[in-house]
């Protein structure tokens, strides 16, 4: 009986060829895929939730600073009044003017928050009317939206067309769609132009300015300006605090949904992997930062718009970025 554990020797007719030709091919490594670092940093900063300890620290610091300034101003004015009444009254008037200007700024910020809240209420009413097919609520949305844009001369034809046709529509979805088509279509086009301009600016600065952090600063300023302009277009003109609130809301939504991640679909839709592999890394970063800016712009339109996007009306990020970057990174013949 043969032992299966005994070694077996197999004679080869030819010895194996050992040399460079037998080595496996070296895998091709292309240029690393751009990740849009500037927009990733911006999204992380904007979406980061402040800690309770941090909020307590800054609130205490601001309260203490305000108290110290108030006491200093009071002692300064009272002392000056005792020493020189004329100069004391001049200082009193100047401090009063400063306080009055501060109150005006606070009132403007409150009005900005009120405008943004009105847009949110309209959007919630429209969503509720669509969900419940409530024609009465849809008509209330159309009336309030017409009143909101009553002072906009560029929407006069749309308001007239809506007023002439709204009574002929007997379902909520149809009336909301008609309102969207007549009143919001021109505003959507204007907002899309703002998104294209911001994406173009961010892409250009990233590609052409090799200064450290310049792309982050450009992305921050361009996105803040874009979000503020989009809010103004839809009737929710925001102040400084309102613009920051909108920016945080937009960036938080993008981070939560993973929309700031760079995937093959984004790169392929913008320039294609073969093109990105032939241009510099700075140009690739510029394209991706511009595309992520377009995503922020579309999210800002969704946040600021008084009606939800109807079927087929939501702007395509691919179309926006292609329109914004047409000819910007095209190879010269």
The answer to whether residue 16 sits within a structural domain is: no
Structural domain boundaries, residue 115: 40-47+60-325
Full-model pTM: 0.70
Does the CA dihedral 83-85-88-90 come out positive or negative? negative
Tell me if 6 is assigned to some domain. no
Tell me the CA distances in angstroms from 25 to 19, 22, 32, one per residue in order. Answer: 13, 9, 20
For residue 173, tell me if it sits in a domain: yes
Rounded Cα–Cα distance for residues 331 and 322 (Å): 15
Report yes or no on 181 lying in a domain.
Answer: yes
Whether residue 105 is contained in a domain is answered as: yes
Tell me the average pLDDT across 268-279: 48
pLDDT value of residue 8: 61
Highest mean pLDDT among 24-38, 41-55, 65-79 belongs to: 65-79
What is the separation of C-alpha 308 from the centre of its chain, rounded to a whole number of angstroms? Answer: 17
User: For the range 227-233, what are the long-range contacts, defined as Cβ-Cβ under 8 Å and sequence gap of 24 or more?
Assistant: 227/296, 227/297, 227/300, 227/304, 229/191, 229/194, 230/191, 230/194, 230/195, 230/297, 230/300, 230/301, 230/304, 231/116, 231/300, 231/304, 233/187, 233/190, 233/191, 233/194, 233/304
Categorise residue 133: left if φ over 0, alpha if ψ from -120 to 50, beta otherwise.
left
* Site of tokens 């021109």: 186
Residue 21 lies in a domain: no
Whether 204 is covered by a domain: the verdict is yes
Instruction: Count how many domains the chain has.
Output: 1
pLDDT in tens, 229-260: 998 899 877 667 767 777 777 766 566 555 45
3-state secondary structure of 207: helix
Assigned domain for 8 exists? no
């Amino acid at each position: 009986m043969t032992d299966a554990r005994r070694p077996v020797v197999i004679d080869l007719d030819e010895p194996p060829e050992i040399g460079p030709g037998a080595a496996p091919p070296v895998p091709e490594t292309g240029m690393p895929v751009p990740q849009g670092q500037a927009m990733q940093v911006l999204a992380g900063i904007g979406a980061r939730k402040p800690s309770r300890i941090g909020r307590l620290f800054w609130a205490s610091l601001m309260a203490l600073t305000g108290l110290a300034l108030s006491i200093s101003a009071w002692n300064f004015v009272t002392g000056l009044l005792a020493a020189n009444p004329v100069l004391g009254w001049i200082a009193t008037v100047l401090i009063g003017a400063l306080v009055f200007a501060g109150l005006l700024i606070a009132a403007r910020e409150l009005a900005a928050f009120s405008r943004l809240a009105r847009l949110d209420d309209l959007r919630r009413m429209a969503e509720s009317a669509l969900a419940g097919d409530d024609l009465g609520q849809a008509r209330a949305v159309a009336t309030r939206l017409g009143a909101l844009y009553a002072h906009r001369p560029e929407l006069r034809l749309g308001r007239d067309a809506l007023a002439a046709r709204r009574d002929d529509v007997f379902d909520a979805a149809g009336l909301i769609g008609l309102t969207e088509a007549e009143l919001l279509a021109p505003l959507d086009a204007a907002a899309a132009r703002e998104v294209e301009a911001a994406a173009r600016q961010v892409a250009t600065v990233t590609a052409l300015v090799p200064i450290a952090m310049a792309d982050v600063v450009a992305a921050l300023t361009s996105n803040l300006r874009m979000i503020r302009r989009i809010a103004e277009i839809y009737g929710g003109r925001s102040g400084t605090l309102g613009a920051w609130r909108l920016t945080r809301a937009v960036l938080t939504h993008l981070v939560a949904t993973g929309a700031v991640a760079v995937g093959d679909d984004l790169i392929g839709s913008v320039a294609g992997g073969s093109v990105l592999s032939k241009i510099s890394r700075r140009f690739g970063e510029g394209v991706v930062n511009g595309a992520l800016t377009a995503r922020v712009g579309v999210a800002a339109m969704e946040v600021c718009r008084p009606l939800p996007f109807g079927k087929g009306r939501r702007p395509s990020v691919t179309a926006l970025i292609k329109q914004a970057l047409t000819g910007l990174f095209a190879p010269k013949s």
